[in-house]
Copies of this chain bind each other. A is one copy, B any other.
Amino acid sequence: MEFTRLASRNHEQVKEYCKLANSPKARRESGRFVLEGLRLCADCADSGYPIETLFLTDEAFQKGGARLERLLAGARKVYLVEPAVAEKLSDTVSPQGVFCVVQKRAESACLQRTDGKYILLDCVQNPQNLGAIARTAEALGIDALVLFSGCDPYNPKALRASMGALLRLPVLETDDLAAAVTHFGETMPTFATVPDPTAQPITAQDFSHGAAVVIGNEANGVSDKVLAAVQRRVTIPMRGSAESLNAAAAATVTMWEMMK
């Protein structure tokens, strides 16, 4: 294991980390992403992702522990960084002093089971929502997520909000969500959730033979093109006075009804 001291906030590796943290384009083009926090970094190593670069403060290194041991064992290169550098790398108020650069894995082909349960997200914009949806999907046993334009599963805020679920769940990205819906529709029923009280209630659907369900963008819902591709529009009946559930809450109710 090679340890290198790093004291400059302008070091090339620091700039590279910040670029990957802030730019979806940089993540896409380089095939790499970043993580912050001991638990998330160790979970990622445990899931078999190659840890290219690990940054640790002296404090985090000295604290040690089993998680750090596993993380160090999987890291190709380790930098011991000054607190000022950790502050620059960090996206949080109280940095733990653990950061890594990780290589994406080759996307595995989605093994579509005819009785599987799939969630397709149509341009969910907010990384907190994306992360929350992934965490709930994993907890409830959804088989895979399919993401469309604007949903970046490697966004640092989304990864953190998902508690690493985005690294453990099968996640596919697509450029053509309507085509993906049509593909799913060949072997299972396809649905879109809409805030339209005249649509069929989600409580009256049969999800037991597999289902692919599209959840829409926070502001605009599911696009017309995708709505035209699904077999059925369903809605979450509401008694209250608010305009609608937020995207993460609507997704939670939808997945709960799919998996019950």
Contacts and interface: CB of A to CB of B under 8 A. Distances in A.
Interface of A: 128, 132, 135-142, 163, 165, 168, 203, 238-246, 248-249, 252-253, 256, 259-260
A62 to B, nearest CB: 25
Contacts of A249: 132, 135-136, 139, 248, 252
A242 B132 contact: no
Contacts of A140: 238-240, 245
A246 to B, nearest CB: 6
B252 A239 contact: no
Contacts of A142: 240
A244 B203 contact: no
Contact of A241 (B132, B138, B252): B138
A68 to B, nearest CB: 20
Contact of A141 (B165, B240, B253, B259): B240
A129 to B, nearest CB: 10
Nearest to A237: B260
Contacts of A135: 242, 245-246, 249
Nearest to A164: B242
Given A141-B241, A239-B259, 17 more contacts: A128-B128, A132-B248, A132-B249, A135-B245, A139-B242, A139-B244, A139-B245, A142-B240, A163-B242, A163-B243, A163-B246, A165-B242, A168-B241, A249-B252, A252-B256, A253-B256, A256-B256
A260 B240 CA distance: 12
A-B residue pairs, 7 tightest by C-beta = A141-B239, A141-B240, A139-B242, A138-B242, A252-B252, A136-B249, A139-B240
Contact of A253 (B243, B245, B252): B252
B138 A240 contact: yes
A173 to B, nearest CB: 21
A205 to B, nearest CB: 14
A245 B252 CA distance: 10
Residue among A132, A163, A252 having the largest count of chain B Cβ atoms under 10 Å: A252
A119 B124 CA distance: 29
Given A132-B246, A246-B132, A139 B252 contact: no
Residue among A139, A244, A246, A260 having the largest count of chain B Cβ atoms under 10 Å: A139
A73 B215 CA distance: 40
A246 B252 CA distance: 11
24 contacts: A132-B246, A132-B249, A135-B242, A136-B246, A137-B240, A138-B240, A138-B241, A138-B242, A139-B242, A139-B244, A140-B239, A141-B238, A141-B240, A141-B241, A142-B240, A163-B243, A168-B241, A245-B252, A248-B248, A249-B252, A252-B253, A253-B253, A253-B256, A256-B256
